[in-house]
Amino acid sequence: MSASQVIVGARIIDPATGRDGPGALLIVDGKIAGLSNGAPQGVPDGAEVIDAKGLVLAPGLIDMRVFTGEPGHEYRETLASAAAAAAAGGVTSFVLMPDTSPVIDDGALVDFLLRRAKATASVNILPAAAITRGLRGEEITEFGLLKEAGAVALTDGQQSIQSAGILRAAFTYARNFDLPVLHHIADKTLVGDGVMNEGTLATLSGLRGIPVEAESIPLARDLQLASLTGVRYHAAQISAESSVALMAAAKARSAAVSCGISINNLSLNENDVGAYRTFFKLAPPLRSEDDRRAVVEGLRAGTIDVIHSAHDPQDSEVKRQPFAEASDGAIGLETLLAAALRLVHSGDVPLLTVLRAMTVRPAEILGLSAGRLAVGAPADLVLFDLDFPWVVKEQSLRSRSRNSAFEGARMQGAVMQSFVAGKSVFRHAALSGDYSA
C-alpha cells in the first residue's frame, strides 16, 4: 500500500458536521490529510487514486456491543473471524464484551486481548472490562488497572447487576476514572423463565413472556443512580416505548446519560418469532410493533444515541433446540449497515441520523478520535452503495456461527469497501476490475 491515497468521485457523508455532498478525501500515512468539494486539491506525487464512482464515503462504523468466543470458545468465533465479518459490514471498530472464558476482569487479560487483536484482527478491537469479578454482580473489579491496561469501558455484558448498592459503588468508582459504564438492564425476577415478549402472541404460542417492566424498572433505577453519582452512564440496550420515555426525561436533565439499541429491535418485532424460530430468541426479546415504532421514533428524535449489532455467535447445538431451551443471541456484524438502511429506504429515519448513531455518537461516548471525517482523524472509512440489492445467505457469512436473525432477508444497500488506517480490509466482489483496492 502506498503512503498516500486519494478517494475521488464520492458522495461524502460526515454525520459529525452534517456534510453530505460530492468530494474527494486524501489519506496520508493512515490518517485523513485533506477533504475537498469536487476534484481533489494538491494530490501528492505517486498517490494511489481510488475512484468511488458515486458511492457513499462515510466514517467506518463503530459497533458498541460485540461478543466473540475468544478466549475460551473459539469454535463459535475468533477475534480474526469477527474482524472479517465486521470489515464486510463496514464496521472498522468494535467494543468487545467481557463475556469470555476467562472473563475479562483483569488487566492482564485486557492486555492479552489487545495483543491478540493486533496480531490477528483486521479491524480495531476495543476491549470492555467487567464491572464485577466473574460477571457475578458481587465484587467490583480494579477499574484503574483495567483502564491502564486499555479497557475503553466497563460492562457486565449479558449480565445485569441486581444490587443497587453494588451498582452505586461501581458508578462512583467509574466516575473517578472517567470510564463509561455500559449496563445491560434486566430485572431477573421479572424476566424469570420468560423467553419472548409478554403479550397475546406469547400466550397463543404457549411460551412464558417477559414484560417491558423487566427493562423499564431497572432503567429507572440506573438513571437515578447515574444522577446521584455523576457517572457517564450508557443503557446498553433498550427496546420498549416506556424506556424511550424514561431516557428522554433523563437526557433533559443530564448530558452524561445515553442509550443504545440493537438493530434487531429496530428492524424486527415479536411476530418474526413465527414458528418458534430460535434465531429470533434474543435478549431483550423482540417487542410488539407498537414498541418497535416507538424506538424508531426515539432514534429519529435523538433520544436513542447508538445502533449496535449485538453480535452474539452461538453454535447450532444451543440454537437448534426447542424455543424455550435455546440460547439467546444472533450474529449481526455483516448485516448491521444494510439492516439499518431499511429505516432510510422506508423514510422513517434520515440517512445522516442513522449513520450518526453508528459513527460519531459511539465515538463521543467512548472518547475515540474515530467516527468522523476530519483532518488528522484515523482513515477508518466505509464505501457503500445505498441501493445495491442482495440476499443474506448463510453460506456467505464470514462469522464462524450462522445464527443470523436476517437469514434469507432481502437487503437494499451493501458495503463495497472498508478501510482501517487507510488499508483496504474488505472489497466487494461486485466492484469492477478498474476499481482500485
Mean pLDDT of 371-381: 98
Q: Given a cut of 80, is residue 432 above it in pLDDT?
A: no
Give mean pLDDT, residues 200-226: 97
CATH topology of domain 60-366: TIM Barrel (3.20.20)
Residue 260 CA neighbour count, 13 Å, CB half: 31
C-alpha cell of residue 264: 434487531
The one-letter code for the residue type at 121 is A
Q: Look at residue 131 in the predicted model and tell me its pLDDT.
A: 98
CA nearest neighbour of 18 among 302, 306, 350, 298: 350
Query: What's the pLDDT tens digit per position in 95-120?
Result: 999 999 999 999 999 999 999 999 99
Give the per-residue pLDDT at 2.
53
Q: Where are the domains of the chain?
A: 60-366
Q: What is the pLDDT of residues 285-312, one digit of tens each?
A: 999 999 999 999 999 999 999 999 999 9
Instruction: Return d(Cα 397, Cα 226) in angstroms, integer.
Output: 39
Region class of 58: left (phi > 0), else alpha (psi between -120 and 50), else beta: beta
- The predicted model gives 22-48 an average pLDDT of 90
Instruction: Assess whether pLDDT exceeds 50 at residue 436.
Output: no
The proportion of the chain whose per-residue pLDDT surpasses 70, expressed as a percent, equals 98
Q: pLDDT tier at 40 (50, 70, 90 boundaries)?
A: confident
pLDDT of residue 278: 95
Handedness of CA 238, 242, 245, 250 (dihedral sign): negative
Mean pLDDT calculated for residue range 134-150: 98
Q: Which of 86-95, 162-171, 274-283, 289-298 has the lowest mean pLDDT?
A: 274-283
For the chain, give the mean pLDDT. Answer: 96
pLDDT for res 44? 83
Over residues 336-365, mean pLDDT? 98
